[in-house]
Structure 1
Amino acid sequence: MRTGSRLSAAILALFLAGCTGLPAGLDPAGPAAEMITGLFWWFTAICTAVWALVVLGLGASLLRARPADDGASPLDRGSARRISATRVVTALVGATALVLVALTISAFITGRGLAQLRGEQVRTIEITGHQWWWEVRYSDGGPAETLATANEIHVPVGEAVRLSLRSNDVIHSFWIPRIGGKQDLVPGQVNHLDFTIDKPGIYRGQCAEFCGFQHAHMGLVLVAHPRDEFERWFSSQLKPAQAPRGAEARAGQQAFLSRSCVMCHTVRGTPAGGKIAPDLTHIASRSGVAANTLPMTRGALAAWIADPQAVKPGAHMPRTELDSDELNSILAYLEQLK
């Protein structure tokens, strides 16, 4: 009884996992994703039909009554069986070939359609995978319009986008299920992923290739804006960090600049110019902390700064010894970086 209850609970938990609101690969948000989803359902339908026919054939074989003795000699009976078996095998081989041809042609048609969708790329965004965060760089507009951020990709709705994917350390895999496609980030190599989003919204993604201890905590978010809203976001992100307001925030800036934070992080408009960790110029405008491991709240930010190893063991960010006044002042400063 106890074993049965545990099994029932495990099965229930498995089904409830689909209610978490996590990325849904079968809910496409763009033309490319719709094509890939359509191909998935086509493959699923054909494979289900093949499975059903095999099961029906096995069932019919098991249930078929033994033929009555018709008086034929064993030699004649064996010859008839060989002829029947040859016909069945020939039919099955032909059907298998037709199924494989149908699947191959449908995959080819989908691939050609995806290639035609690319067309002339309007915007290129560079994505670099690090253990365990995503560097996002916009550089289409020249040096004056080069923008670096982290763990969030913002795009305008209806505009073709090309992602240039690189890795700074190990193999990662870029995957946002609802935009379609999954692409590896390989050290020393540049791969590309093209897509268009036709629905405004927030789309969660994840590294899909095991890349080390904190692979599961390497999340990212794609935000699709109407074009005018995207332009406002982009213009605001190009600006340097605003000067801190209030005594506590000013003290926080001084504490930030006097600590080892500046060796790794950049805050544009200040002496902080580190290049090996996320750009923090507008950190407070983001939705998450530590590659979206935690939400962007004061408490989560405090936990991450005070003891990053407790949040993401193995992360490259070291623990910094801060008293409560220093921590609160740094939090006040970072919360103004919007």
Structure 2
Amino acid sequence: MSIALSEKEIAPLNYFLHSYGPASMPTLHLGWIFASIVVVVFLIVAGLLAGALLHKRPQNSGKIDDADKGLRWVYIGTSISTCLLLAMAVYALITLNTVARPPQAPALTLTVTGYDWWWKVEYEYDDPRLNFVTANEIHIPVGVPVLVKLKSADVIHAFWVPVLAGKTQMIPGLINRQWLQADASGVYRGECTQYCGLQHAHMALEVVAQNPAEFQRWQTAQHRRVALSPASDAGWKVFMEHCSGCHSIRGTEAIGAHAPDLTHLKSRSLIAAGTLTNTPEHRERWITHAQEIKPGARMPSMVLPPAELTALSAFLSTLD
């Protein structure tokens, strides 16, 4: 049985103290051991420095073996530090090998593509007709490994969900791989950790770990195509005129490929790659002030008459 965790309990910077999956546990132990070694070395060096400052050196007795005694300690210290660094390197390589592959076959395969500055998430199935695309939010079932294939559409990015797995580079022209597994249901924050330009700090995503039944319901909802209603006609026309060149909505004529897929936009908790919560007010603000909120983003600040903005906002609210 999985245990639901609050967002406070799984805050991103808790990765040094907490791990919520087998892909991050070995890295957690590695961090603890390396930090302990650093603290011990610091205390030894500080102690030696304090001793040297407080100890009054006797007058040179004229014996020539004083220098030899000093060199002897240099040799001993160098030998110990060399062995310690070698042991740390070996342990780091063992950890890297441990987290390189999951203990069992992945139950789900995703492809995550980094853009300036958002995430495209593609769910892949044996039957291609079941594939679907979403953005900036990853849903996974609890307790099973998930294979994540990582790509970049422009510059080098890095995918990191701190309490679930380590960092992996996303390099243009290459496909890297890592795996995630959450052992507790909850919402886990992810980040790009490779500086990728002006809005690097505003390139976040959420991993939502759900029990199998909840994940299946979410997956079924994502497969559902949007049904346009007459009540949304005005907003749909505004969307097609101003938004469809970049955004797509499955099952409609909107097939833009340069911006996030908006098929089930309302079901997401955040927009603009984690910059704003997904509320009608924030959606309108993002549409009209995108370049003030996220300067340099590909989303332009749009100037729309109030009636068109209201209609567009109402249409977006139907995309659940």
Q: Do the structures match in fold with TM over 0.5?
A: yes
Pair 1:87–1:334, CA change in 2 (3 A):
same
Aligned amino acid, residue 315 of structure 1:
A
* 1:299 counterpart residue number: 281
Alpha-carbon distance, 1:83 to partner: 2.9
* 1:223 counterpart residue number: 208
- Per-residue CA deviations over 1:293-322 (Å, capped at 9, x if unaligned) read 110011100011123212212221223332
* 1:266 counterpart residue number: 248
Aligned amino acid, residue 53 of structure 1:
I
User: Relative to structure 2, which stretch is displaced further, 91-100 or 49-58?
Assistant: 91-100
CA distance in 2, matches of 1:111, 1:213: 31
CA distance in 1, matches of 2:106, 2:285: 41
CA distance in 1, matches of 2:102, 2:213: 24
Q: Which has the larger radius of gyration?
A: 1
Alpha-carbon distance, 1:19 to partner: 12
Aligned amino acid, residue 290 of structure 2:
P
* 1:212 counterpart residue number: 197
* 2:38 counterpart residue number: 47
Preserved contact between residue 25 and residue 180 of structure 1 (Cα < 8 Å): no
Q: Secondary structure at the match of 1:115?
A: coil
Provide TM-score, normalisation by structure 2. Answer: 0.91
Higher helix share: 1
Aligned amino acid, residue 102 of structure 1:
A
Q: In the alignment, does 2:15 pair up with 1:25?
A: yes
Aligned amino acid, residue 25 of structure 1:
Y
Q: In the alignment, does 2:50 pair up with 1:59?
A: yes
* 1:286 counterpart residue number: 268
Aligned amino acid, residue 125 of structure 1:
L
* 2:110 counterpart residue number: 125
For residues 174-185 of structure 1, the aligned pairs below 5 Å read: 174-185=159-170
Q: Is there any run of 5+ residues in structure 1 with no aligned partner, and where?
A: 1-17
Aligned amino acid, residue 268 of structure 2:
R
CA distance in 1, matches of 2:319, 2:101: 41
Alpha-carbon distance, 1:200 to partner: 0.7
Preserved contact between residue 33 and residue 180 of structure 1 (Cα < 8 Å): yes
* 1:94 counterpart residue number: 79
Preserved contact between residue 187 and residue 209 of structure 2 (Cα < 8 Å): yes
Q: Secondary structure at the match of 2:14?
A: coil
Alpha-carbon distance, 1:157 to partner: 0.7
Preserved contact between residue 23 and residue 176 of structure 1 (Cα < 8 Å): no
CA distance in 1, matches of 2:9, 2:144: 31
CA distance in 2, matches of 1:116, 1:237: 28
Q: In the alignment, does 2:172 pair up with 1:187?
A: yes
CA distance in 1, matches of 2:100, 2:223: 33
CA distance in 2, matches of 1:39, 1:138: 32
**Count of equivalent residues:** 312
Q: In the alignment, does 2:75 pair up with 1:84?
A: no
Aligned amino acid, residue 28 of structure 1:
S
Q: Secondary structure at the match of 2:266?
A: helix
Q: In the alignment, does 2:29 pair up with 1:38?
A: yes
Of residues 239, 262, 266, the one that matches 1:256 is 239
Alpha-carbon distance, 1:238 to partner: 0.8
Two-structure CA RMSD over aligned residues (Å): 2.1
Preserved contact between residue 266 and residue 317 of structure 2 (Cα < 8 Å): yes
CA distance in 2, matches of 1:121, 1:151: 21
CA distance in 2, matches of 1:241, 1:337: 7
Alpha-carbon distance, 1:119 to partner: 4.0
* 1:315 counterpart residue number: 297
Pair 1:56–1:19, CA change in 2 (3 A):
farther
Preserved contact between residue 12 and residue 163 of structure 2 (Cα < 8 Å): no
* 1:331 counterpart residue number: 313
Q: Secondary structure at the match of 1:220?
A: strand
CA distance in 1, matches of 2:253, 2:238: 13
Identity of paired residues, percent?
Answer: 38
Pair 1:22–1:104, CA change in 2 (3 A):
closer
Q: Is there any run of 5+ residues in structure 2 with no aligned partner, and where?
A: 1-7
Pair 1:336–1:23, CA change in 2 (3 A):
farther
Q: Secondary structure at the match of 1:222?
A: strand
Provide TM-score, normalisation by structure 1. Answer: 0.87
Aligned amino acid, residue 64 of structure 1:
H
Pair 1:207–1:264, CA change in 2 (3 A):
same
User: Relative to structure 2, which stretch is displaced further, 20-29 or 268-277?
Assistant: 20-29
CA distance in 2, matches of 1:91, 1:153: 52
**Greater relative contact order (CA < 8 Å, ≥ 6 in sequence):** 2
